[in-house]
Amino acid sequence: MDVETTAEVALYGQNLFGEDIKPDSRGIIADKFVVPPFSVLNACEGFWQERKRAWLSMGIKSEIGRGGHSKTSPGGSPRPACDYSQRQRGDGAGKPIEKMEGGGGTSIFDPVLCELTYRWFCPKGGLVLDPFAGGSVRGIVAAMLGMKYWGCDLSSKQIAANKVQAEEICPDNQPTWVCGDALDEVPNAPLADMIFSCPPYGDLEKYSDAVNDLSTMEYHTFIATLGRIILRCYKQLKNNRFACFVVGEYRDKKGNYHNFVGDTITAFKAVGFEYYNEVILVTSRGSLPIRIEKQFRASRKIGKTHQNILVFVKGDGKTATKAMGQI
């Protein structure tokens, strides 16, 4: 079964006649590429939200395994538990998060964003390497699209929860999750056809007390360590392949931007990657309309409602594209 068929059946099911249910046509370009491959993606539009609900209805529960930590992920709206840290940093500039269906408060990575990056930048049946695995979404979406996935995370509890979900949702093509530090584990990963991840946003949110947890580090140490991990990813990526990180600017304790996006680009280029694409992901405003007047009057800090999807290539972009075949 090819990748396209696998994904559509998983998302929309079949009708009474056993035929695959397809979403309504939204135009030639959108039908070919899921959404038009433009430099701005809108995660707030109806089609995106509908497709996200379809992915989640498969049983993805990426919040399981996180204990009491308030991790955040690209692609949704801020929840109350994160409003305090957002106000402290001045503009809601943390990773945007989404409430789970049914009113829960823990966030997940946006599965539609995940689906798009895999379809657009990974060969069919290829292996995705993820140095900051976190929850189950990126692994399960890869598996349902017929790809292989290798990810590592510091939390053994998170890894165990991810594996339980994978056994239920994709038993015939289970992702591989490894517990450990990316600096140590990535060199042992199989050669990859794509790098895809969302690193911690420095110390914006603390994930654990472990000394090797990037979220415990001062910014200069954090960026240097991130660069070392990117180098290890570069070495494990096949030639003429793409790498994608989802990042966003966030403020230091004085309220000034770190230049995290720029520093991430510099780190990739320093180890040999070429900077290939930037996509802006428009995310939900959440509680920002309630907070923005007081915030802007007091500081002139703009309310942030987007993230940056940075795409790099190891080798030649045209050759990498040919290796993927047609979408």
Each residue of 6-46: pLDDT tens digit?
444 447 555 555 555 677 677 777 778 889 999 999 999 99
Cα 127 from chain centre? 16
Cβ 209 vs Cβ 255: under 8 Å: no
Among 13-22, 23-32, 275-284, 303-312, where is mean pLDDT lowest? 13-22
- Tell me which residue of 114, 121, 120 sits closest to 144, measured CA to CA: 114
d(CA 299, CA 277): 32
Q: What is the pLDDT of residue 150?
A: 98
Burial 13-48 (b: 16+ CB within 10 A, else e): eeeeeeeeeeeeeeeeeeeeebbebeeebebeeeeb
Q: What is the pLDDT of residue 125?
A: 94
Sheet with 237-247, side-by-side order of all strands: 40-42, 274-282, 306-314, 237-247, 192-197, 127-130, 148-153, 176-179
Query: Around Cβ 278, how many Cβ atoms within 10 Å?
Result: 12
- Tell me which residue of 204, 93, 193, 84 sits closest to 145, measured CA to CA: 193
Average pLDDT, the chain: 83
- Alpha-carbon radius of gyration of the chain: 19
What SS3 state is found at 221? helix
d(CA 30, CA 37): 8
Task: Indicate the DSSP class of residue 286.
Answer: T
Cβ 160 vs Cβ 227: under 8 Å: no
- Over pLDDT 90: what percentage of the chain? 62
Q: What is the pLDDT of residue 16?
A: 59
Please name the fold of domain 33-324. Answer: Rossmann fold (3.40.50)
Q: What is the pLDDT of residue 65?
A: 66
Each residue of 75-132: pLDDT tens digit?
332 222 222 223 335 565 445 443 333 334 445 799 999 999 999 999 999 999 999 9
| Assigned token pair, 55 | 């992915």
Cβ 310 vs Cβ 247: under 8 Å: yes
d(CA 155, CA 12): 33
Q: What is the pLDDT of residue 287?
A: 87
Q: What is the pLDDT of residue 97?
A: 41
Query: Around Cβ 214, how many Cβ atoms within 10 Å?
Result: 22
188 pLDDT higher than 90: yes
| Assigned token pair, 108 | 């997940």
Among 85-89, 160-164, 171-175, 217-221, where is mean pLDDT lowest? 85-89
- Over pLDDT 70: what percentage of the chain? 80
Non-local (6+) Cβ contacts of 314 within 8 A are 234, 237, 238, 239, 240, 241, 242, 243, 272, 273, 274, 320
4 pLDDT higher than 80: no
Each residue of 206-238: pLDDT tens digit?
777 777 788 888 899 999 999 999 999 999 999
Cβ 54 vs Cβ 22: under 8 Å: no
> Where would I find the beta strands (DSSP E) of the chain?
40-42, 127-130, 148-153, 176-179, 192-197, 237-247, 274-282, 306-314
pTM: 0.84
Q: What is the pLDDT of residue 216?
A: 83
What SS3 state is found at 134? coil
Q: What is the pLDDT of residue 141?
A: 96
Spell out the domain ranges in the chain.
Answer: 33-324
